[in-house]
Each structure stands twice: as structure tokens, then as C-alpha cells.
Amino acid sequence: MNFSGNQYLHSFTQLVRSEFDAKVLYVYIYSNGTSSNVSVTIGNFMKNNMSGVLNITSATPTGRTFSLNDTHNTTLEFNLTAGWLNATLNYTMQNRETVERLYFNASTRNYVLGFTDMTLQERGFLVRFKSTYNRTWIIS
């Protein structure tokens, strides 16, 4: 993901957090169909520090570790072979481990996967939802 995309996600998540008592984790995977490179951006707005590892099948390197303070994001780079791949995100926050599994298409087309885990709390009500979005397009 490029700099302006990272800035947009960061600013949008800051806005959501300033309006609501919100906790947000986002993961965006961009697969470049021409270069076989994959960029994974992880954003932590969970009101706590987190650390973990992201593993991707058939990727070089197979896994990358990360550590993120609250309101920070990072972009991890991978090179991989084509096909449907499995990305496993293992992260620890407040001594609790969480695992998220994401599947994405690394083909000769460009591909984006967006994953969001959001918790909103307001006046004693709590709502939590996880969403995954996919988009593929032909390189022209």
C-alpha cells in the first residue's frame, strides 16, 4: 500500500476513535500481479500495544514479525508464487493470543483484501464486527 493509502486509513481510523469509544484492527493485503510482490499493512488502534507474526504460504520470507504501539501501522513486504494463498496473523495483546486466517489470490491480476475487526462501545452497549473485502482487477 502506498503512503497516501496508509495516511487515509490512519486518519479515518483516528476519526472513528475520536467519535466513538472504538477499537480497530485492520489488515490490508495488496498483491501486485506483475511483480509477484505482496504488501501487507497492519494497523493497531486497539488501545493497547500488540506484537505478532504474519505467515503467508509460498512466500519469501514465509513469516514476518511485528510490534505495534497503539495508533500505529506497519507495512510488511513479501515475494510469492501465484495461486490462492493463506495468510495467518497471530498477535498477542494483554497476554491474550488471537489468530486470524485470511485467504487471497496472488495471480497475474492485481488483488486487494481488506480485513477489519472493530469494536464500538457507547452508553453501555457493545458492538463488535469483523469484515473481509476482496477486489481483483486486470492489469492493463
Please report, for residues 26, 44, 65, 69, 126, the alpha-carbon distance to residue 74 in angstroms, rounded to integers and kept in the order given.
Answer: 11, 9, 11, 10, 28
CATH of the domain at 41: 2.60.40
Number of structural domains found in the chain:
1
Per-residue model confidence as pLDDT tens for the chain (140 residues) = 567 777 878 888 888 888 888 999 999 999 888 888 899 999 999 999 999 999 999 889 999 999 999 999 999 999 988 788 899 999 999 899 999 999 888 877 788 899 999 998 888 888 989 999 888 776 65
The dihedral sign for the CA sequence 31, 80, 6, 12: positive
Range of the domain at 67: 3-137
Backbone CA torsion sign across 24, 111, 34, 8: negative
The whole-model pTM stands at 0.88
Task: Please report, as a single letter, which amino acid is at residue 65.
Answer: T
- Type of residue found at 70: D
